[in-house]
Each structure stands twice: as structure tokens, then as C-alpha cells.
Structure 1
Amino acid sequence: MVSSVKRLLIGRPLKSTELGEQKLNKTKALAILSSDALSSVAYGPEQILIVLVTLGVAAIWYSIPIAIGVLLLLIALILSYRQIIFAYPHGGGAYVVSKENLGMNYGLISGGSLLVDYILTVAVSVSAGTDAITSAFPALHDHNVGIAIIFVLLITILNLRGVTESASILAYPVYLFVLALFILIGVGIFNIVSGQVPNNLHTPVGTPIAGVSLFLLLRAFASGSSALTGVEAISNAIPNFKNPAPNNAAKTLLAMGGLLALLFTGIVFLAYYYGITPNEKVTVVSQIAEQTFGRNFMYFFIQGTTALILILAANTGYTAFPLLAVNLANDKFIPRMFKIRGDRLGYSNGIITLGLA
């Protein structure tokens, strides 16, 4: 009975010789490893506005220079992780780099921090995705926790079926989200250029604001930098790429950086020009979509794809957590069971541990 249920949920066991078939090409890798970083576009700009609006609506113009600062940090991160990909082609990311260059204690701090980070990534992503759903359908708001737990279980089962199968399924929502936001940004900018949006909804850039301080601006910058979460995932998961793995990983990293920069810039600009202010019950992206399209098909398409990618951003954690656990297990800091491949040739003990956590 148990065996039959397991086969139904996870699929037939794979032979070790089929491991090569479980490697990712650039298209699938971009979807499965960039979902966390790309999904942060849905909440990163909002985090900047939440801090700035404490000074008043007029202070929202500061989101423009803060966004430029976040983009400069993104460029530095992309260039740094590209070097790491070629220097450490076997993956491991910050743990391996810190261990070999700074010493074991620093490596363990990085490794432990990343394990916790991936657990929080799953929890926050699924919660944010559930919020996006209940923003569109307020009647579901009382069932937030139950909906989130169901999504965690589904993503865990999907990853136990193997990295290739999960990537094949997850690629569609990720690329639909990218398409939806490009349409939103494109139509929004067209409406602005064609004069359909009043130019008095925002304060001009450079307007003096009483009470502004360097500390508050830095806090807004730090909050906005949440848009950069997940950038390190590709350098951690190089072994999942088809050969030549480092070259494919580097190209995927650059593609992710370019998409993230364009989407983040577009959402920040539209939020500023439309004079959007954060709302506890409605996200910034939802407000921009409603002002651009109204509550029609495109609005629900954007909300639906946003909810999907926020939930599926958790998959980045499921890809990187088991590989990091393998590196820690190789160095005998966590149990050897994390080195064992499951029926579908994934590190199933790492996947199950992450799902439970």
C-alpha cells in the first residue's frame, strides 16, 4: 500500500545511469533557479515605498535614486557570482568560497546562514504567494495558513519527482510571469508617454522633504535590496547544469540579472509615476495593474502569475538546499544521510528536511 502511494506520488525509481538525463539546460535552469530572484520584483519595490511613506507621500520620489543604488549592487553581485562559477565549478557557493578563502569557521557561518535562508525563502515565498491570491479573492483570507501548507506539500512532492520534471512544470509559470510584467510595464509606459496618465500624481524628483535622514534612506535601500534575494542560487547549483556546466551557468546568471534589472526598474518607475502608496490589503503590483488595466482579464492574469511565481520561488530553496547539505555532509558537519540520492536521483533527504522545516 505504502509502496503504491509512493510510486503514484514520486514515480518509478531511476537508474544511476540516467543521472545525465536529470541535468538542466539553460532555459529550464533559468526558470527553476531564477524564480526566487525574479519573484522578488513583486515585493522589493514595495519594501522601499513602505519605508519612504513614513515621511509622507511626497517622499516617494526617493525610490528612483534608491532603485539605481539597488541596480548597482545587482551588477556587482552578478559579476562576483560569475567569477565564483568558474572558480568553483562543483557548486557550494558561499560555503565553499568562505571555507577555502577565509577558513572553516567562516565557511560554517555562511553554510549555516544559507540553510536557514533557504528555509525562510520557502516560508516567505509561499506566504507571499498566498497573500497575492487572497488579495484577488478576499473571501479566502481566513484560510491563508492552510493554503500555504498545501503549497509547501505540493512543491516538496514535485521536487521528490526529480529536478528535470519539476523544471519542466515550473518553467511555464515563470515565463508567463515575466511576460505579464513586461506587458504591464510596456502598457504603463505607453500610457504615460501618450498622456493618458496625469503628471500630477507624483512629486517631482529633487523636491525637498522635511525630516528625511541618511539613516532612513539607507533603511529604504536595505529593504529594497530584498529584490536581490536568490541571486546566489545559480552559483550554488552548478552540478545541476548540462555540460559545459560553468559556461551554461554563467550565461543563465547573466540572463537572470538582465531580466531582474528590467522588471525591477519598470515596477519602481510605474509605482513612482502613478503615485502608488503601500496598502496593507493590496500589493503595489496589484495597484499598478488595476490602474493600468482596471479589474479585467489582464489584471487577474498578472495577479495569477504573480501568485504562482511567488509560490514557486520556494523551488529555488529546494534546488540549492540539498546541494549545500551535500557539501556540509562531505565535510562531516551534518549527517551522511544528506549525501544519499533517492529513487529519482535527487537528494531526497535534503528535500524532505527542507519541506518539514
Structure 2
Amino acid sequence: MVSELKKVIIGKPLKSHELGEQKLIKTKALAILSSDALSSVAYGPEQILIVLATIGAAAYWYSIPIAIGVLVLLTALILSYRQIIFAYPKGGGAYVVSKNNLGINAGLIAGGSLLVDYILTVAVSVSAGTDAITSAFPALHSYNVAIAIFFVLFITVLNLRGVTESASILAYPVYLFVLAIFILIGVGIYKIVIGGVSPDLHTPIGTPVAGISLFILLRAFASGSSALTGVEAISNAIPNFKDPAPNNAAKTLLLMGVLLALLFSGIIYLAYYYGISPSEKVTVVSQIAESIFGRNFMYFFIQGTTALILILAANTGYSAFPLLAVNLAKDKFIPRMFTVRGDRLGYSNGIIILAAFSIILIIVFKGQTEHLIPLYAVGVFLPFTLSQTGMMVKWIREKPEGWMLKLITNTIGAFISFIVTIVFFLTKFPQVWPILIFLPIIIILFHQIRKHYESVGEQLRINPNEPVVPIEGNIIIVPVAGITQVVENSLNYAKSLSADHIIAVYVSFEREDEKRFEEKWKQWQPDIRLVTLHSYYRSIISPLTKFIDTVEHKASEANYQVTVVIPQFIPKKGWHHILHNQSGLLIHSYLLYRRKVIITTVPYRFKK
């Protein structure tokens, strides 16, 4: 039943040799890997206006030079990550670059930041998309959290079905969004050109504004730079591209950069010229669309596609998180389960973990996008800074042909990214301080996991110089609760093991029960030794484990192995388990982690 339901939801399992069919062409890759960056034009410009609004509407003209600064940073990042793609064609992005050039800890800071960032990507994107929906339908505003969780679950199922299938579905809303915003920008600029928009709606560029300061401008610039989140995703996901993967990834990255620059610039300009002010309940894009088209079909088309891409932008996290997790897992910094492919050849464990943490964030922050974006942006710009710095070190060390130009490009990217990171910490410290706590904790956890794997490897490694102590014999202990077919089945199994000694152990709570059981045992199994233990405190575990300890201690002196054979009956129906005390499972669980014995469970399955 469960497997059939799984096939319906996720699809039939794919064979390993079908992995090549799951690789992405450029158009599909642009849809699922650029959706985060492209969708940020729906909230990036708004973040600039929110900061400038603290001074007043007269300061909105500063959004134009601030946007130019954001575009300069975007250009530097696109060129930088293009170099990373060709320098590290197997993917890994900031984690691999930082680890190889700046050291393990720098790599772990970048990797840890990005893991958290991709979780935030899902939470922010879905929350922003939900805001777009409730802007168009205010009656749904109180259901933000529930709607956001529903969309996270939807995208999770979509990704569990496989990369190609999710890309095929997601390509349509992404390109519809791009088309819708281009129509919005085109019609908006056309109305400005023909004089259909009053120039009184905005303050002329260059107008002096009281209260403006460099601090405010840097804060607005840092907030607007949140539109650049997701730029690094393509460099992390190179293995998802069809061959030649690096070339296809680089072309996709450049196309994403061009689209992002045009959309971001257009929204900023329209917001400025139409005199749009940020509002808690109505997004900037919604206000622009309503000012240009009114509340007609085009308005709802733009809001619908905006909501869709904001929600589906979470797919960038679903594409990049599992691949980054694979790189960290291969280096033994996170559990190896992240390297295992699921039924549909995707890294299912990474997808499921990402969804779980994203839902937790949405619930904790109650779907409030503005509370998540600063932390989200810092999680991006910290790896930006480290990756660009790492590339600088690489060029200086290796000095390949044309390295000076590459060094300058990465230096500019590293410098601006560092400035943005510092500004975020200075201006939004109350919102970003958690990164100072959870990031060191994550790094420590990474090292502890690596230490564990190294310890396990050392203990599992065969040492030919170490003498092997032979096992001289086997003593089998069978806990028994009565004279039943379950016990008889276990005893027959124990006899088949050619043991030197078989000991049945009965734990009684009453002296009379103990004597009666001994008499019945002599008649039933006279050839098998029975040891009866009296439990003063009605516990089976305590006297049994003490007896096993005593036997194991004496057996180890003679190089004998002790095996505990546990009888276990299995009811036909699952709910029948709660009707029994499950003492066999308790004994198994206790011995498994606390005793130097071999444990064997012998199941006896009921037929009705």
C-alpha cells in the first residue's frame, strides 16, 4: 500500500543508467537555477524603498544610483562565478573554492552559510510568493503560514519526482514571469514617454534631501543587494547540466545576469517614476501593475506569475542544497546519507531535510518575509566574499595566462561583497545576529562529524600486524518467558548453531512461579540447562543483563563468544503490537548498545 502510494506521488523508480537523462539543457536549467535570482526583482527594489522611506518620499530618487551600484556588483559576481565554473567544473561553488584556496575552516564557513541560505531561500521565496497572493486577495492574509507550508510540500514532491520533471513543469511559470515583467516595464515606460504619467509623482533626480546620510545609502544598497541572492546557484549545480556541462553552465549564468539586470532596473525605474511607496500589505510590483493597468486581467496576470515565481524560486534551493550537501558529505563533514540517490535519482535525503527546516522557519517567523531577508542575504554575501577571495589566492598562486584580469575581477567582487556583508551587520544587526551563533555551532558540528568518521575508519581498518584472537567456542543464552512455540522455535535455532552450551534464562517475579516453571522445563527440555532468576523489583532487564555480564566475563577469559538469542513473535496486524509488552525488543535495544555480546532475534510470525 505504502509503496504503491509512493509510486503515485513520486513516480516509478528509475534505473541508475538513466541518470544521463536527468541532466538539464540550458533553457530548463535557467528556469530552476535562476528562478531565485530572477524572482528577487519582486522584493529587492522594495527593500531599497523601505530603507529610503525612513527619510521620506523625497529620498526615493536615490533608488536610481543605488540600483546602478547593485548592477555593478551583479556584473562583478557574474564574471567571477563564470571563472569559478571553468576553474571548478565539478561544482561545489563557494565551498570548494574556499576550502581549496583558503583552508578547511573557510570552506566550512562558506558551505555552512550556503546550507542555511538555501533553507532560507525556500522560506523567503515561498513567504514572498504567499505575500503576492494575499496582496491580490486580502481575505487570505490570515492564512499566510498555512499557504506557505502547502507550497513547500508541493515543491518538495515535485523535486522528489526528479530534476528533469520538475524543470519541465517549472519552466513555464518562470518564463511567463519574465514575459509579464517585460510587458509591465514596456507599457510603463511607453506611458511615461507619451506623457501619460504625471511628473509630480516623483522627486527629480538630484533634489537635496534633508536627513540623508552615507549610512542610510549603504543600508539601502545592502538591502537592494538581496536581489542578487541565488547568483551562485549555477556554479554549485554544474553536475546537473548536460555535457559540455561547464560551457552550458557559463552560458546559463550570463543569460541569467542579463535578465536579472534588465528586470531589476526596470522595476526600480518604474517604482521611482510612478512614486510608489512600500506598504506592508501591498507589494511594490502590485502597486506598479495597478498604477499601469488598473485591476484588470493584466494586473492579475502579473500578480499571478509573480506569486508563482516567488514560490517556485524555492526550487533553486532544492537544486543547489542537495548538491552542496553531497560535496560536504563526501568530505565527511555531514552524514553520508546525503550522498545516496533516491528512487528518481535525485538526492532525496537532502530534499526532505531542506523542506523540513524550511517549514520550521516559516512557522517560527510566521511567514514574515522582511524578517528573513536580512539573514538570508548575509548567508549569501559571506560565501560571495570567501569565494572571490579564494579565487584571488588561486590566481596569485597559479598565475595562468590572463590571470591579472581575472584577479582584478575577483578583487572587485570580493571587495564589494565584503562591504555589503559589513553593512548588513552594522545596519541590521538585530536581525542578523543569529548567524554569529549558529554558524560557529555548525562549524563545530562539521568537525565533530568528520572526527567521528575518521575514528570509525580507524577502528574498521584491518591491521595485518595485529594478532587475531581465535574464538574457541560459543555460549548461547535464550531468555524465555514460558513454554510456547515461540520459545521452541528459538531453541531449535540455537541448537542449529552447534553451540557448546545453551542456557535458557527465566526471570520470575514470584517464587512459586519459579518452582512450577522449573518442574515443567525438566519435563519439556531436559537436555537444555535452565537458569531461573528472581526479580525483586519486577524488572526483566536488570537481572538478565547481570547474568549475561557474568557469563560474558567468564567466557572472554576462555576466548568464548556469547550469543543472546531473543524470541520475538510478530502479530499479523500492525496494531496488535500495542497489545503486547514487547519485552523482546526492550532486551534487544538494551543489549545492543551496552553489552559485548552477539544478539540474534528469532521471529515467530502469527498467521491470524
TM-score, normalising length from structure 2?
Answer: 0.59
Q: How far off is 1:248 after superposition?
A: 0.3
Q: Deviations over 1:287-335 (max 9, x none)?
A: 0000000000000000000000000000000000000000000000111
The equivalent residue for 1:266 is 266
The equivalent residue for 2:303 is 303
Q: Deviations over 1:240-287 (max 9, x none)?
A: 000000000000000000000000000000000001110111100000
CA distance in 1, matches of 2:245, 2:263: 27
The equivalent residue for 1:61 is 61
Q: Secondary structure at 2:53's aligned position in 1?
A: helix
The equivalent residue for 1:356 is 356
Q: How does 1:203-214 map to 2 (within 5 A)?
A: 203-214=203-214
Amino acid corresponding to residue 143 of structure 2 in structure 1: H
CA distance in 1, matches of 2:100, 2:33: 25
The equivalent residue for 1:277 is 277
The equivalent residue for 2:219 is 219
Amino acid corresponding to residue 59 of structure 1 in structure 2: A
The equivalent residue for 1:249 is 249
CA distance in 2, matches of 1:35, 1:356: 21
CA distance in 2, matches of 1:149, 1:212: 40
Amino acid corresponding to residue 154 of structure 1 in structure 2: F
Q: Which has the higher helix share?
A: 1
The equivalent residue for 1:331 is 331
The equivalent residue for 2:200 is 200
The equivalent residue for 1:163 is 163
Amino acid corresponding to residue 208 of structure 1 in structure 2: P
CA distance in 1, matches of 2:105, 2:132: 40
Amino acid corresponding to residue 55 of structure 1 in structure 2: I
The equivalent residue for 1:189 is 189
CA distance in 2, matches of 1:84, 1:162: 26
The equivalent residue for 1:110 is 110
CA distance in 2, matches of 1:190, 1:14: 51
Structure 1: give runs of 5+ residues left out of the alignment.
Answer: none
Amino acid corresponding to residue 20 of structure 1 in structure 2: G
Moved over 6 A (4+): none
Q: How far off is 1:174 after superposition?
A: 0.1
Amino acid corresponding to residue 39 of structure 2 in structure 1: S
CA distance in 2, matches of 1:285, 1:218: 23
CA distance in 1, matches of 2:353, 2:57: 44
CA distance in 1, matches of 2:131, 2:287: 14
CA distance in 2, matches of 1:219, 1:251: 32
Amino acid corresponding to residue 2 of structure 1 in structure 2: V
The answer to whether the aligner puts 1:129 opposite 2:133 as a matched pair is: no
The equivalent residue for 2:77 is 77
Q: Secondary structure at 1:200's aligned position in 2?
A: helix
Q: Which has the higher strand share?
A: 2
Q: How far off is 1:77 after superposition?
A: 0.2
The answer to whether the aligner puts 1:231 opposite 2:231 as a matched pair is: yes
Q: Deviations over 1:174-199 (max 9, x none)?
A: 00000000000000000000011111
CA distance in 1, matches of 2:275, 2:132: 21
CA distance in 2, matches of 1:14, 1:258: 36
CA distance in 1, matches of 2:261, 2:308: 20
Q: Deviations over 1:328-356 (max 9, x none)?
A: 00000111110001000001010011011
CA distance in 1, matches of 2:303, 2:17: 42
Identity of aligned residues (%): 85
CA distance in 2, matches of 1:155, 1:5: 18
Amino acid corresponding to residue 156 of structure 1 in structure 2: T
Amino acid corresponding to residue 42 of structure 1 in structure 2: A
The equivalent residue for 1:145 is 145
CA distance in 2, matches of 1:179, 1:280: 26
CA distance in 2, matches of 1:154, 1:201: 41
Q: Deviations over 1:49-68 (max 9, x none)?
A: 00001111100000000000
CA distance in 2, matches of 1:179, 1:326: 35
TM-score, normalising length from structure 1?
Answer: 1.00
Q: How far off is 1:231 after superposition?
A: 0.3
The equivalent residue for 1:344 is 344
Amino acid corresponding to residue 104 of structure 1 in structure 2: I
Q: How far off is 1:103 after superposition?
A: 0.2
Amino acid corresponding to residue 143 of structure 1 in structure 2: Y
CA distance in 2, matches of 1:327, 1:66: 36
Amino acid corresponding to residue 179 of structure 1 in structure 2: L
Q: Deviations over 1:141-191 (max 9, x none)?
A: 111111111101010010000000000000000000000000000000000
Amino acid corresponding to residue 269 of structure 2 in structure 1: F
Q: Secondary structure at 1:55's aligned position in 2?
A: coil
The equivalent residue for 1:96 is 96
Q: How far off is 1:226 after superposition?
A: 0.5
Q: How far off is 1:25 after superposition?
A: 0.1
Q: How far off is 1:24 after superposition?
A: 0.2
CA distance in 1, matches of 2:149, 2:56: 37
CA distance in 2, matches of 1:37, 1:109: 22
Give the aligned length: 357
Amino acid corresponding to residue 47 of structure 1 in structure 2: Q
CA distance in 2, matches of 1:137, 1:161: 31
Structure 2: give runs of 5+ residues left out of the alignment.
Answer: 358-608
CA distance in 2, matches of 1:312, 1:100: 33
CA distance in 1, matches of 2:79, 2:27: 21
Q: Secondary structure at 2:200's aligned position in 1?
A: coil
CA distance in 2, matches of 1:55, 1:131: 25
The equivalent residue for 1:312 is 312
CA distance in 1, matches of 2:123, 2:199: 39
Q: Deviations over 1:21-80 (max 9, x none)?
A: 000000000001000000000000000000001111100000000000000000000000
Please tell me the root mean square deviation across aligned C-alpha atoms, in Å: 0.4
The equivalent residue for 2:27 is 27
